[in-house]
Amino acid sequence: MARWEGGAPDRLRAAAIDLFATRGFDATTVADIAAAAGLTERTFFRHYIDKREVLFQGQDVFEQAFVDGLYDTDSDDPMAMVRGALAGAGAWFDDERRPTSRTRQLVIDANEGLRERERLKLGTLAERLADALAHRGVDPASAVLAAETGMAVFHTAFVTWIAEGETRSFTEVLDDVLSRLRNLAAG
Amino acid sequence: MARWEGGAPDRLRAAAIDLFATRGFDATTVADIAAAAGLTERTFFRHYIDKREVLFQGQDVFEQAFVDGLYDTDSDDPMAMVRGALAGAGAWFDDERRPTSRTRQLVIDANEGLRERERLKLGTLAERLADALAHRGVDPASAVLAAETGMAVFHTAFVTWIAEGETRSFTEVLDDVLSRLRNLAAG
């Protein structure tokens, strides 16, 4: 059992991820999560709609980090803007967050409904990035392709970053994946 | 109302997509679909588990077309194998299927649950392609990246292919998207 620090939302989130990982997502109730965090169910529902939301809350802020990173990139090159978007989100992935990110992903991978939800979130994010690229003057077909390819790069970089034994920062992994993509695409 | 040809599964599918598109997915019942196809509900359930399955059945055969295309590619270059996979599946997308593919996609895009299901199917397909690439000797990190990038290319090519007024074949669109990817990745 980890020591809970921070406010109620953080304590509930840590307790939930811990329980989902040990007991399974389906077998964990909101009552279990509240009890493990030393809080009431009422407090739980003050912060989260349901137990699934614990894993996905904050998505809007996370998406905004991608969009900000894209607009903050000086270059007009589509993949440079995509790199900017991914690096912007990379600020979320520091060493302190790595163990929780790893456990959260194991929980999601183990449950089909959660995997669907995550895929949809990545799809929505790809659409936002494509819109932002088009807004910055990229033709629509290239914008969709660059955004979707960016999600492929993000997924690959994230899986690599949370792998056991990986010590490089998210940005280092990201640049490695982008260089790999250049080589792959060149054939 | 279209003329129904072929066996019961095809008639049910055509009737279902027609109703989903005009009336909405949620507002359409299995009874409606069976009646529109001139068949009984019992016949419907002989072929499909539920109305959602009408949109996704045949997925196994579709995935196998990607995998076969990958293994049938002579080159050992990862993106050449991915192109082989996508071209293999492209045999499904002929001019005759284009209007139905377009309508089916509008139905899916209009419903969050269906979009989640479709994203999950694409995710599962990416995992199968990554496994096949690794099996053909591509290192695991490049295999995941090439497979996910392949899904980005597939998604972009498919959206372009079903666009109103598009007349190029799926394979022609695919090669255009792949050439666009090379340019994007080169920066």
- Which residues 69-128 of chain B have a CB within 8 Å of chain A? 77-80, 112, 115-117, 119-120, 122-123
With a cut of 70, which residues of chain A have pLDDT below it? 1-6
Q: How far is B51 from chain A (nearest CA, A)?
A: 19
Using CB atoms within 10 Å of the CB of residue B172, give its burial: 0 to 12 exposed, 13 to 18 middle, 19+ buried: middle
Tell whether A36 lies on the interface with B, counting CB pairs under 8 A.
no
Of A80, A112, A152, nearest to B152 by CB-CB distance is: A152
pLDDT value, residue B160: 93
Neighbours of B176 (CB within 10 A): 15
Tell me if B142 and A184 make a contact (CB, 8 A cut-off): yes
Contacts of A151 in chain B (CB under 8 A): 148, 152
- CB-CB neighbors (< 8 A) of A112 in chain B: 120
- Smallest CA–CA separation between B179 and chain A, in Å? 9
**What is chain A's length?**
187
Output the pLDDT for position B125.
93
Q: How far is A183 from chain B (nearest CA, A)?
A: 9
- Cβ-contact B51, B28 below 8 angstroms: yes
**Are the CB atoms for A115 and A109 separated by under 8 Å?**
yes
pLDDT tens digits for B49-68?
Answer: 999 999 998 888 889 999 99
Quote the CA–CA distance of B164 and B157 in Å, as a whole number: 14
pLDDT string in tens for chain B (187-residue length): 444 456 999 999 999 999 999 999 999 999 999 999 999 999 999 999 999 999 998 888 889 999 999 999 999 999 999 999 999 998 889 888 899 999 999 999 999 889 888 888 888 899 999 999 999 999 988 999 999 999 999 999 999 999 999 999 999 999 999 999 999 998 7
